Amino acid sequence: MADSEVFQFLPKVYNILKGIEEGQDITQKIKDFKHQLDQAKSQVNSYPGISLCPEEQQKLETYTKKQIALKSDLLVKYRNSVHLTARNMTSTYGINVAQEEKDLHPVFKTDPHKLWNYVNKRVILSTSEGVSYEGYVYTIDPVTHSWVLFSCSNDEDTHKMNVVIVMNTSVTDVNVFDEECPSWVLDMMSQYGKIHEIDLSASQIAERRDAVCRWFGANRIPVNKSADTLTIANGTVTIEPPYFPENCSSSNEIILCRVRNLLTTLPNNDNMSLSI
């Protein structure tokens, strides 16, 4: 059997050679590579009517060893180039890559799914001050990892609750209870911080919309109308009915704050607060 006839039955070998990804553990990659080559050779021998003579077996072994050596050399060179790049960055730009990784903010190291799994769970947080906090997790700040707990009364009829914020720096132990969050607690959580709706007629809402447009126009701020939605600063800020400060939304906190402040000074407006 000619070499070309032997290797046409080894598509997996070629795929293995092309498919090894760089940047992982070199030793393990070489072991995996050898293992997959052995599997490919076994499959060649299992084809009906095909058998390799000793010379062909030797050629295949030699070919395999050369490919392993070549791939190993490439992986070692890649690893060394990564180390060299890190050294060059340190010497050229004064960047210590290892130190940069060590000093990376925890927000880039924390698994968000792990934080999410705490939400709505009853926990007891032990702190370095010797104080323990028990309640249901409302949320966890992904940046500071501060805990927001709902400490609720066990009496459903009282509907009393305390919102407690516990700084992560003081938390020494977290005890999680494997139980379902009561429905009445979930209801209170869903209502927390929710904006109350104001019962305004359609004509009153339309009057307020026109008043808002006039007020922004008086302050030389162009307003675009799209159905019932008002947009400002090329769509940066949107204002939905009934056009109170709490109905503004934007990804730009600075502009959003200015627009809300301007709405609170709207003439002939009681500026009622809509939040709890």
Query: Residues 136-169: pLDDT tens digits?
Result: 998 888 888 889 998 876 555 556 778 888 998 8
pLDDT digits (tens, 9 = 90+) for 246-272: 889 988 888 898 999 999 899 864 444
Q: Is 147 helix (H, G, I), strand (E, B) or coil?
A: strand
Q: What is the mean pLDDT of the chain?
A: 72
Q: What's this model's pTM, rounded to 2 decimal places? A: 0.40
pLDDT on residue 124: 92
Residue 220's region, left for phi above 0, alpha for psi from -120 to 50, else beta, is: left
| Residue 127, Cβ density class (10 Å: 0-12 exposed, 13-18 middle, ≥19 buried) | middle
Spell out the residues 6+ positions from residue 40 whose beta carbon is closer than 8 angstroms to its own: 10, 12, 13, 16
Residue 126 to residue 212: CA distance in whole angstroms: 50
| CA atoms of 189 and 179, how far apart (whole Å) | 17
